[in-house]
Chains A and B, each alone.
Chain A
Amino acid sequence: MSGLEVAGLRAAYGSAVVLTGVDLQVGPGEVVGLVGRNGAGKTTTLRAISGTIPRRADGLSFDGAPLPARPYRVARLGVIHVPEGRLVLRGLSVEENLAFGAAAVGRPFGAAERERALAWFPPLGPLLPRPAGLLSGGEQQMLAIARGLMARPRLLMVDEMSLGLSPRAVRDVLAAVLSACREEGVALLMVDQNLRLLAAHCDRLYVLAGGATTCYRDAAGRSDEFWRSVYF
């Protein structure tokens, strides 16, 4: 069991090349972060991995199996990408969004699954019947992640979780995500602007610049000065 292995990932939008050679690994149960300046290609990296955009790579596999080209196949392999912008399904209620996450991969959704989701994200409890489009930003983010977890992935990739959330909401959501993933043995790959937060929690941090990545192991131990020089 080897988790996500990415080597030499390349991607472009038309003639604009964004990724020139991204390498990263996420082992089973690990928490890994991907940071970089605005426009560096962090979202592009996740979209390339999940197959949302066409990509080429020297190596792109999960648990030894090559990642398929089509997103729904990647998801069924156990890699769930929670895209930025929360993107809840607006025509459905909160509970239906959760159920959708399970149904999409053919898993059942009953009382047990509902309880599990609420145990990770208690604030969703009273919101179950509400149309998902009417939730606040933080609530929608929780829903998007919980919905992804309903598919029982082995790797969860979350894009810009903290975007547009208050510091308190970020704190709550992150705590819930980390504990849920730990419980379920799900590996976590997080892309975010909130550098300090990722540095404090990730086993490893990748910095994306110039279309390629550099890996930093002891992220928590580095100083602010160091990060400022890398980031700016």
Chain B
Amino acid sequence: MFAARAHGHTLPFALAILAVLAVLGLLPIDQGMRFTVVLAMSWGIAAVGLDLFSGYLGLANFGQFAFVGIGAYGITALRSEAHVNVVVALLLTLALAAVLAAVLGAAMVQLQHFGAALTTFFFAFVLFNVLGGNTLDPITHSENGLAVPPLSWGPLDLTANGPWLYWLAWAMLLATVAVTSNYANSRAGRALRLLKRSEPVAGTLGVRARLTKLGAFVFSAVVAAAAGLPLSLALGYLAPESFHFGNSITLFAMLVVGGIGSLAGPLIGALVFTALPQLMQGAGAAEALLFAAIFLVFVIALPDGLFGLLDAAWRRVPVPGGRLGRPRPLAAAADPPPPVEGDVLVAEDVAVVFGGVRALDGVSFRVRGGTIHALVGPNGAGKTTFLNCVSGLLRPTGGRIAVAGRDVGRSRTHQIRAMGVSRTFQNPSLVPDLSVLDNVRLGLYGSHRWSVARDLAGGWASRGRSRVVDGLAAAALERVGLAAARWDVLASELSLGEQKVVDIARAIAGGSRLLLLDEPTSGLGDEEIARVADLLKRLRTEHRLSILVVAHNVGFVQDTSDTVTVLDFGRVIAEGVPDRVIADPEVMTAYLGVAEAGAEVAAQ
């Protein structure tokens, strides 16, 4: 998305809004107002569902209202044509929406932003035409409109005339907010937020990008379809105009203005901007103009929306004792993984060729279990390329890489993660709007089998596992030496040194046998470099981790590494113990440059 921050734990705000709506429902308001608020709540349901996909995962989706249309027409048609009971109609329609979303989503998740935007917008256009066309006319009665059969539940009249529709809509909104909030704040939600930040990093932590994105898309579509129930009952009569494709853009705009990625913000946006035009009579086009202008201004100047503004103001208020004063979870001592005997990593003649450039040209070396091995060389020598091969982000064009005896050349990132290989990145790529602890929890993503359904069910269903995860994450943070006071801070507020250390904690939290560190010291000052060096030595000695570290800093390498491999232009030019390698004249030349070229040029 346009770098909008997502916000965790916004449930209290959303519940406050629901409380206001409940109070409103108890007041003696007139019919017209009631109708307006029910309409607004229906849009609110669709908005909250959309926010999960566009705000937390960060992908554009301009087809959400089409699914509301599918919901409204599906439920109504089943009830009026097939005389199906409303609950069954709802379930069948949600299933239909899920299937359609899965098919559309299967294509969408392979596209980048522009493709996704255009595809979903076109889908909304297709649906609008289908609803207004002849093919589905028997179901949609497109010429005359489709009448919505009155609904009652026992003595309760759920049509637009009675007061009970308000409570139905309210209850559905409450359920939507609760479930979506659970999703956003769960392991699954963190995975979405990491995907938004960096797909490669997510891959190396075991996240399956396409499947995860598809799940989020289907979720938002199903929620939208559910919104069709209260909407159809309120309207009483369905006509295609109510589901014009422009509505999806308007809905998206409400998210942006309200504050995309906060659940509560889009809810406010939807409520306010649906209700206002209804309440201000006879000013239709002027509002649309005002709304579009507000939308434009927000996209340019306030992409974080109203909620973002509130959040920024809220952060300025100093709170003694920290903001999220949760009791510290007990740091459970994680069982150290069994040390690897023999070679933990073997590279044989590894080659990587990109369009004529040999990034790696026959690289062979070994890393013994339980040691720290440095991979050094000037910029562009191929070090990161090599790490990408080992972690599965890149497939080598030739040669063999084996981890603890198993060939990984054709394995995918999450499979390699499952084998106990974890890594850090030159750019730590922490999720900026998650706390340090939440970021480290992501390191445990691939460690246990889990289901999104349990995440949706919320806190009580996952409490046991939550405690385990918290404990392991805290243990990792203690191991890397980050003060507990920093654990609740948002990652965007950390210094570079702290970010790099949290990246390491994220990598070791899930237990690993081989840790790949990509330039853990670049950009750091001397003190921080010394701290990182100490950490690595502790990890090796106390926790028996095998480490392959890419570094530039010669002093750091001498201090920490048992053995060194030097790369230059994709080839190994030296190998051995640090002292000897650094004194090697060829290595000196690679680092300081070639003097002969100078002599030749001067002679011209």
Contact = CB atoms under 8 A, between A and B. Distances in A.
Let me know if chains A and B touch directly in the complex, using CB atoms closer than 8 Å.
Answer: yes
Interface of A: 16, 37-39, 134, 136-137, 160, 162-164, 166-167, 170-171, 174-175, 178-179, 192-201, 224, 227-228, 231-232
B592 A167 contact: no
B554 interface: yes
Contact of B593 (A160, A178, A193): A193
Contact of A136 (B357, B523, B552): B357
Nearest to B600: A171
Given A38-B379, A171-B601, A201-B602, A166 B554 contact: no
B593 A197 contact: yes
28 contacts: A134-B355, A137-B357, A163-B380, A164-B379, A167-B597, A170-B594, A170-B597, A171-B594, A171-B601, A174-B597, A178-B601, A194-B593, A196-B592, A196-B594, A197-B595, A197-B597, A197-B598, A199-B598, A200-B599, A200-B601, A200-B602, A201-B598, A201-B601, A201-B602, A228-B588, A228-B592, A231-B591, A231-B592
Nearest to B519: A38
B378 interface: yes
Contacts of A197: 593-595, 597-598
Contacts of B123: none
B356 interface: yes
Interface in B575-602: 588, 591-595, 597-602
B178 interface: no
B415 interface: no
A31 B5 CA distance: 47
B496 interface: yes
A160 B569 CA distance: 16
Contacts of A134: 355
B554 A232 contact: yes
Contact of A39 (B523, B597, B598, B599): B523
A201 B591 CA distance: 18
Interface of B: 355-357, 378-380, 496, 522-523, 552, 554-555, 569, 588, 591-595, 597-602, 604
Nearest to A39: B523
Contacts of B378: 193
A197 B599 CA distance: 9
A171 B380 contact: no
A199 B601 CA distance: 13
Contacts of A136: 356-357
Contacts of B569: 166
Given A137-B357, A196-B592, A38 B522 contact: yes
A200 B598 contact: yes
A195 B592 contact: yes
From B357, B598, B599, B604, name the one whose CB has the most chain A CB atoms within 10 angstroms.
Answer: B598
A83 to B, nearest CB: 15
B593 A232 contact: no
Contacts of B379: 38, 160, 163-164, 193
B492 to A, nearest CB: 10
Nearest to A210: B525
Contacts of A163: 379-380
A170 B591 CA distance: 14
A232 B554 CA distance: 7
Nearest to B356: A136
Given A170-B594, A195-B593, A16 B496 contact: yes
A141 B213 CA distance: 40
Contacts of B496: 16
Contacts of B380: 163-164
Contacts of A170: 594, 597
Contacts of B555: 232
B218 to A, nearest CB: 37
Given A136-B357, A163-B380, A224-B592, 11 more contacts: A38-B379, A137-B357, A163-B379, A164-B380, A192-B593, A194-B594, A195-B593, A197-B593, A197-B597, A228-B588, A228-B592
A193 B593 CA distance: 8
Nearest to A199: B598
Nearest to A200: B598
Contact of A196 (B593, B600, B602, B604): B593
Nearest to A171: B597
A175 B592 contact: no
Contacts of B602: 200-201
Question: Which 9 interchain pairs have the tightest Cβ spacing?
Answer: A200-B598, A194-B593, A164-B380, A171-B597, A196-B593, A196-B595, A197-B593, A167-B594, A175-B601
A175 B593 contact: no
B588 A224 contact: yes
A164 B601 CA distance: 20
Nearest to B593: A194
Nearest to A84: B379
B570 to A, nearest CB: 10
Nearest to B554: A232
Contacts of B592: 194-196, 224, 227-228, 231
A182 to B, nearest CB: 11
A38 B601 CA distance: 26
Contact of B604 (A162, A175, A228): A175
Contacts of A162: 593
B594 A38 contact: no
A196 B379 CA distance: 16
Nearest to A231: B592
Contacts of B357: 136-137
Nearest to A160: B379
